[in-house]
Structure formats: C-alpha cells, structure tokens
Chains A and B, each alone.
Chain A
Amino acid sequence: MVHRIWGGMIVASVLFALLTGRVGPVSAAVFDGAKQAVQVALLLLAFMTFWLGILKIAEAAGLLWGLARLLSPLLRLLFPDVPKGHPAEGFILSNLSANFFGLGNAATPMGIKAMKELAKLNPRPGTASRPMITLLALNTASITLVPSTVIGYRAAYGSARPAEIIVPALIASTVGTVVALLVDRLFQRRAGDGPDGEG
C-alpha cells in the first residue's frame, strides 16, 4: 500500500506539472523536500538522543515500571495484546502522558521507543501489528491538555488570550481520539485476526 501511495503522489505530481508547465518548481521541490527532511531529522536527533537518555535512566530506576503498574487497567483496555509487565507498557504510557501534557519534543522519542518495544513482540517483522496501529492512532489523534505549539504561535501574533483554545481543543481531540480507537477496533474485527493479525 505504501508503495502505491508514495509512487502515486510522485508520479501524479510530475504528470500534473508536465500538463500545467510547472516542471521547474517540481524539480526544485525534490531538493527542497530532501533539505527540509534533513532539517527535521536534525531537530529530531536532538530530542531523540536527549530524551532516550533520560528515558533509559527512568527505566533503570523502575519509574516506567511503576507508571505501568499504576495505569495497568488503561493498558489492558487499550492494548490487550501486550503481555502484562512487558517493557513496552512503560514506554507507551510515557508517550501518552507526554502528549497529554503538551511535551511534544519528549513525546515523539517516547513513542518511537514504545514502537520499537512493540516490534520485539511482533510475530511478523515488517508488518504492523495490532498494538502498533493502536499506538499510532492514539498519537495521530492525541488528546492534548496543552497544545503548546499553537498557544506559542498565538502569543507571538499578539493574541489577548493565547490559551483560550485549550478547552475547545481538548474536547475536539478527545472526540477525535475516541473515534480513532473505535475505528481501530472495527478494523481489527474486520481483519478478523488473532493477536498477531492476518490482514
């Protein structure tokens, strides 16, 4: 699927550019896109190295384990396929909490670490497992108490009350998350699979 989407985006763009005479900008876009990816990666590198370092200490100190024990019922509900006590649990929860409190820079490394732990549980390497897709759904629709980036921009543009969007955004993202989880479950049923998935 990813092959068709990725190929489709690029081939369709080139064809459209040929038809409308925008070959120049498209040619420039190739290098702009690659350059921007490297800039994003550099930023990601800074967060990833720092936060995975801190996270390793949290793991060694038993803090992630404690977090997982504290919120065990939530994990059972959202991730029934992850065995109780597996290290993935602590990373998943740290990712969800960081998202909730608007710590975007920390949330991504934690989510990636959780995904790598889930990959260890994956019976079919290379194919997304059920808990992986659930984690992805939670991140794309993430419930945020403090959408800090948007609030920062609002303040920068002279808003009188930059934080007034907190409650509406929280409601909207909660609705989005609940629907995402329901859709995720629906797809799981439709795929009709066991813990490891056949779809």
Chain B
Amino acid sequence: MFEALLRLSEGLIPALIAAVLAVGLIRRLPIYETFIDGAREGLVTTVDIVPHLIGMLVAVHMLQASGLLLALIQAGAPFFSAVGVPPEVVPLAFLRPLSGAASSAVMLKLFADHGPDSWLGRLASIMQGSTDTTLYILAVYFGAAGIRRFRYALWVGLIADLTGLAAALWVHRLFFGPAP
C-alpha cells in the first residue's frame, strides 16, 4: 500500500502539470506566454535569493570546518544521552536545522554502517523525514520577500525542529521498540 502511495506521489507531478495546462487550454489562455511570464519571475527571484544562500552556507561551512560544531555536539552529547537520544543520531539532530546536505550525510553514513532497515537506520530516516532545514528555509523564503528583521521567526522554526525530532524519537520507539 505504501509503495502504491509512493508511485502515486511520483505520478502526481506530471499529472498536475498536464491538468493545469489542460484547464488553461480549455479556458483559451495564452498558456505559453503566461508560462514565460511566470518563469521570468522565478529567474529574478532566484537571483535575489543567491546572496542570502551564500551568506548562510559560508557561515555553516565555517562552523563545521573550525571544529566548533563538533565540539558543541560533543559537549551536548551527555545531556542528549540522559534524555534517551542515541549518541549516533546526535550529530543529525544538531545538523538538521543548519544544513540538509550535512544531516543527509549523517543519515547515509548510518545506512552504510548499520543498514537502512536497522534500528538506527529507521530512526535516522524518521528524524530526517519529519523535519526540515530551518536555516535554509529562512534564508530562501525571507530572502525572496526582502525580510531583514526576523522577529520571533527563528525561535518558532527551531522549536518546530526540536519538537519534530523529539516526536521522531518517540514515534520510532513506539513502532520499532527500544534499542536492541
């Protein structure tokens, strides 16, 4: 059933595109010109976003390369162990809001070492799949809208990540039991 759902999700994109174009044709819209107009806006908006992406990603890379992020993760590890987070996924939890690529890499390392269907592999999958990269979303969405004062947005985003990760740990235990 889940595989069917996945196939449905794959088929959704072409179906969606075809449906939108079909309705446009039925309504006799100049769909090609409309497409080009919208696409041009996408081009301009992306150009607006690039400086934000560069600023944020350079900072994240420096944080990683300096070893400071690793030191923070190691400093936080005893606390995380105390509340029941397996040490193997602590880096994933730390990296998830900062960099989708980096947290993916942690997940893939766990897949390679333990297998995707192992206890840890499933936990990493659920953690990765139920949260998103707050910093990236913040940079891209607010960059496009020209927002410079974030107010409480960062806190809401980080709390959302933290809750999502905590919920992932809880649901994982519910479905797949305690650590073997």
Using a CB–CB cutoff of 8 Å, the interface residues on chain A facing chain B are 1-2, 5-6, 9-10, 12-14, 16-17, 20, 22, 25-26, 28-30, 32-34, 36-38, 40-41, 44-45, 48-63, 101-103, 106, 108-109, 111-112, 115-116, 118-119, 122, 125-128, 132-133, 135-137, 139-142, 144-151, 153-154, 157-173, 175-177, 179-180, 183-184, 187, 190-191, 197, 199
Contacts and interface: CB of A to CB of B under 8 A. Distances in A.
B135 to A, nearest CB: 9
Contacts of A37: 50, 53-54, 56-58
A172 B12 contact: no
Give the interface residue-count category, chain B: 35 or more
Interface in B54-91: 54-68, 71
A14 B66 contact: yes
Contacts of B20: 54, 57-58, 61, 63
B145 A119 contact: yes
B39 to A, nearest CB: 4
A132 B147 CA distance: 10
Contact of A63 (B23, B57, B104, B138): B23
Given A115-B142, A139-B132, A140-B132, A176 B160 contact: yes
Contacts of A199: 151-152
A44 B46 contact: yes
A45 B155 CA distance: 28
Q: Which 9 pairs of residues, A with B, have the shortest CB-CB distance?
A: A56-B38, A176-B164, A147-B129, A33-B61, A180-B160, A29-B65, A52-B42, A53-B39, A33-B58
